[in-house]
Amino acid sequence: MNDTFHWLDVERIAEELADAHPNVSPYSVRFPELRRMVEDLAGFQEQPGHPVNERILEAVQQLWHQELDEVPLDDDDED
């Protein structure tokens, strides 16, 4: 993966959020907070001409939710 990403990289953002916040329900996060969470991710850089809007935030939220559904839970670690 590239070191930096921006608002149009919604799949990468969702992956990064799932890694950074595995116990957060994406649909419980309001858009202003979601925006701050994304902006705080390591490697995120907003690019001129690609501002965030509600459609992008909705896509991020949905993909983040899907990403968490795909991650297996390690509650029963038997090591």
In the predicted structure, residue 1 carries a pLDDT above the cut 70: no
Please report which confidence band the pLDDT of residue 76 belongs to, taking 50, 70 and 90 as the band edges.
Answer: very low
Give the pLDDT confidence of 30-61 residue by residue, as tens digits: 999 999 999 999 999 999 988 999 999 999 99
Question: Cα separations (Å) of 57 from 43, 49, 75, 79?
Answer: 18, 16, 30, 39
In the predicted structure, residue 25 carries a pLDDT above the cut 90: yes
Q: Which domains does the chain have, with CATH numbers?
A: 10-70 (1.10.10.600)
Question: Cα separations (Å) of 27 from 47, 49, 57, 78?
Answer: 26, 27, 11, 31
